[in-house]
Amino acid sequence: MKIDKHNFFDQVYQVVKLIPKGRVSSYGAIAQYLGTKSGARTVGYAMNAAHSLPDVPAHRVVNRSGLLTGKHHFPTPSAMQEALEEEGILVKNDKIQDFDSKFWDPSRELT
């Protein structure tokens, strides 16, 4: 079955818009919530395309370890970290500190 990327991207954006300020989620957690466990990479593609959408807080999506792997898709390499720090999230060496307490899992939060 072929995934309609545009529809899937829209679904990703709807989930990302629900991540509260001061919290983060991961590509894989969003993919799993949307029913595609192996779709983390496609969620990443959606996030890379989201930077022109001002209402999608793309800075709140990181990899499963809390690393800012998408930072190079922002206007500057430090923009993602700066946006997270403005929301009270501590980032050190491109990694979210106290990641477990900041992690927002849509499969738990949206059920």
CATH (one of 2.20.25.570, 3.20.20.70, 1.10.10.10, 1.20.120.530) for 5-99: 1.10.10.10
pTM of structure = 0.91
Tens of pLDDT along 35-49? Answer: 987 799 999 999 999
All structural domains of the chain with their residue ranges: 5-99
Tens of pLDDT along 8-20? Answer: 999 999 999 999 9
| Spatial CB neighbours of 81, under 8 Å, sequence gap ≥ 6 | 68, 71, 91, 94
